[in-house]
Structure 1
């Protein structure tokens, strides 16, 4: 029995890979969007003002809502290819406006205190990981356990059924 399950998992690994990517990428965007929303997007708007982004208050709300709704769409596998595009845009803007100045590494230990390590500003490594993960989902599709897969199956089923 277990051998059969493992064989099925190995045989269908290409459908499982997007599932795991969707979970972590979507959760990451939901977490970041929720953090902005719970603190008030106005605080994020102040950061956008400092880096000279036009219409910072509106952009702060748009980014917050895109991260939340896009993250949910990615986790559920709903229109993943469409949802990924604005999320890639957000990551590119963050990377080139903020993180690029701090180099590649996302972990920079700059000191050690009795309470633990002190970390410096993060580089663009995580932005690239999110972007590559989203591009991978665009190329491979949402995989199993997704609304996209369910819609594709329903569409294929309706095409195969003869009309009366």
Structure 2
């Protein structure tokens, strides 16, 4: 069972070999001259020898280069196949298979048959993926949105790989109650008792008794009111009149 990369490499080598053969034959006709080539075709019985000489010379030279590059393979392969089909029909068909049979040069159709079939294969899409056609078509079909999608896909794959390689963290076990620090209780505000209003018509009494201006003293069975005096009497300083009186 063939693999696709191996087939692509084999197709490149096949295009290279066949392209070199076509370029060599085309250059040979151009180097000899279109006039000389047309005369040779006329002697071989090819119809329209001048047009056939121009067609075969340039198609073989340029077509061989296009085969090597993989450029326009469907058209290039078809043109080269038609070139070899004309050579087979008008020149080599009645001369046998072999180019050389023993010591006789027969100029048979083995070469044009092989080159024509390979050209037909290239025209049918057998040139592989390593071609200029694939590069041009891929560049046209590729858009910036595709580049963005590829970047998103690459980042998604990278995130999946990172998630697979990242170790799973074990959940922490809860600490026992004795190891936990006690949570401070919120301070309680003192409850303020509401002021109770006094009953209507009842005079408000003060807790502290007012200092009486006068003291009631019981003297000989009756009350004698006297003015309350201070326990401590101020010291009276002597004046000048008192000094004169004493002297």
Cα distance, 1:159 vs structure 2: 8.6
Q: Aligned runs of 1:27-42 on 2, under 5 Å?
A: 27-42=20-35
Q: In 2, Cα distance between the equivalents of 1:67 and 1:128? A: 15
Q: In 1, Cα distance between the equivalents of 2:89 and 2:14? A: 24
1:85 aligns with 2:48: no
Q: Give the equivalent residue in structure 2 for 1:4.
A: none
Pair member with larger Rg? 2
Equivalent of 1:135 in 97, 105, 120: 120
* Runs of 4+ off more than 4 Å: none
Cα distance, 1:42 vs structure 2: 1.4
Q: Aligned runs of 1:74-113 on 2, under 5 Å?
A: 74-110=67-103
Q: Give the equivalent residue in structure 1 for 2:135.
A: 150
Q: Give the equivalent residue in structure 1 for 2:8.
A: 15
Q: In 2, Cα distance between the equivalents of 1:98 and 1:24? A: 24
When the two structures are superposed, what TM-score results if normalisation uses the length of structure 2?
0.54
Number of residues paired by the alignment? 147
Q: In 2, Cα distance between the equivalents of 1:159 and 1:40? A: 50
- Greater relative contact order (Cα 8 A, min sep 6): structure 1 or 2? 1
| Structure 2 runs not aligned, ≥5 long | 149-247
Cα distance, 1:56 vs structure 2: 1.7
When the two structures are superposed, what TM-score results if normalisation uses the length of structure 1?
0.78
CA deviation profile, 1:86-113 (whole Å, cap 9, x unmatched) = 1111101111111112111233221xxx
